Amino acid sequence: MSLARNGFRVPEQLLLPWSPRATISAARTAEMLDCGRMTVLRLIERRDILAYQLRPGVAGSPWRINYDSVLKYLAKIQDEAGVERRFEL
């Protein structure tokens, strides 16, 4: 995923859609949503939460999930269920 320009390599962090500080792992996402990793992957596929794969197309490559999108999704499902929010936006 790296690009070279005039012999210099562009740092991969600059190519990511969000700052690495604004992301969490699939395991942490599953913990926050109280679900399994496969459910997290389905949410990514349905675009209910925003994420990117560190090495796209490579089986088993880790996902980085946008933390704010997880909070928004969690707030949405809690509002629909009429329960108190566990995390604040």
Per-residue pLDDT of the chain (89 residues; tens, 9 = 90+): 445 556 676 666 666 777 777 899 999 999 999 999 999 999 999 999 999 988 888 888 889 999 999 999 999 998 998 888 776 66
In a domain, 18, yes or no: no
Tell me, what's the pLDDT at 15?
Answer: 67
Q: Which DSSP helix (H) or strand (E) runs through 66?
A: strand 63-66
- Show the tokens assigned to 80: 């629909």
Structural domain containing residue 37 = 23-81
Give the amino acid at 64. Answer: R
Cβ neighbours, 10 Å, residue 67: 19
In a domain, 15, yes or no: no
Contact between 53 and 63 under an 8 Å Cβ cutoff? The reply is: yes
Tell me, what's the pLDDT at 28?
Answer: 95
What 3-state class would DSSP assign to 52? strand
**Entry pTM:** 0.75
Number of domains in the chain: 1
